[in-house]
Amino acid sequence: MALPDCASVARVRRAHGVRGALAVEALTDEPDAILASGRRLFQGTIDGTLWLDPATRAPRPLHVTEARPTKDGWLLTVAELTDRTEAERWHGRHLLVPVEELTPPAEDEVFTHELIGMAVIDDESAAALGDVIEVYDLPQGLLLEFRGSHGVHQLPFIDTFVVAMDREGRTLRVRLPDGLLDT
């Protein structure tokens, strides 16, 4: 069985209530559609990958029965979680959707999960600086973390620093702020 290529669309913050509801942070631009009642999601791991049942090696589908926005995220009820004890084990896990069920990104856009593993290239010298190892979705925007021969560094994912992105070639051409590699 071929496993679906999935993207993380939400991260579980905590359990909510006694019947297994989840308070989640939406990681999609379309939470109304993606997290809607009746949708199928897949269980993910804490690092955002697709969880596979150890016995069957199959992904675990989740069926949204209720979704509603709150002031700081979304409350989701899924048919497969029925009590708080089970829901508490989900803290930090990601909820995933097959990529083919999502609206494709525009030509100059990328799914956040695709940034992991992209090569970071200095725009001036064309030197390889490392690979993206993590992406943080902060209120002020995305923050890339990359590892190279100079250690681990962070760089905001904004036009000032990310000059070009080659989705097919899996590279980011960047203009580093002065002193970034010195720390």
Rounded Cα–Cα distance for residues 85 and 18 (Å): 8
- What is the residue whose two structure tokens read 């970034």? 180
Residue 1 banded pLDDT, cuts 50, 70, 90: low
Structural domain includes residue 152? yes
Q: Where residue 28 falls among pLDDT bands split at 50, 70, 90?
A: confident
Instruction: Tell which of 72, 101, 130 closes a domain.
Output: 101
Contacting residues for 121 by C-beta, under 8 A, at least 6 apart = 127, 128, 129, 171, 172, 173, 174
The average pLDDT across 20-47 equals 91
Q: Percentage of the chain surpassing pLDDT 90?
A: 51
What distance lies between CA 87 and its chain's CA centroid?
Answer: 20
129 in the same domain as 51: no
pLDDT by residue (tens digit) across 99-114? 888 888 777 777 777 8
Asked if residue 107 belongs to a domain, the reply is no
**20 CA to centre of own chain:** 23
Residues 70 and 153 in one domain: no
Where is the domain boundary, 66, 101, 136? Answer: 101
Q: Which domain holds residue 153?
A: 112-182
CA distance 17 to 158: 39
- 31 and 95, same domain (yes or no): yes
Do 85 and 125 lie in a common domain?
no
- Supply the CATH number for residue 87's domain: 2.40.30.60
* Domains in the chain, number: 2
Residues 132 and 145: beta-carbon distance below 8 Å: yes
CA geometry: angle 63, 48, 94, nearest 5 deg? 35
Q: Are residues 94 and 143 in the same domain?
A: no
Residue 106 lies in a domain: no
Q: Same domain for 23 and 91?
A: yes
Q: In what order do the strands lie in the sheet with 162-166?
A: 151-156, 141-148, 128-138, 119-122, 171-174, 162-166
pLDDT at 90: 92
- pLDDT above 90 (res 88): yes
Residue 183 has pLDDT above 70, yes or no: no
Domain-located, residue 1: no
pTM for this predicted structure: 0.70
Task: Note the pLDDT tens digit of each residue in 52-87.
Answer: 999 999 999 999 999 999 988 899 999 999 999 999
The tokens describing 179, both together, are 């002193």
Q: Does residue 23 fall inside a structural domain?
A: yes
* Backbone φ/ψ region at 48: left (φ over 0), alpha (ψ -120 to 50), beta: left
| Distance between CA atoms of residues 55 and 41, nearest Å | 20
Is residue 74 in a domain? Answer: yes
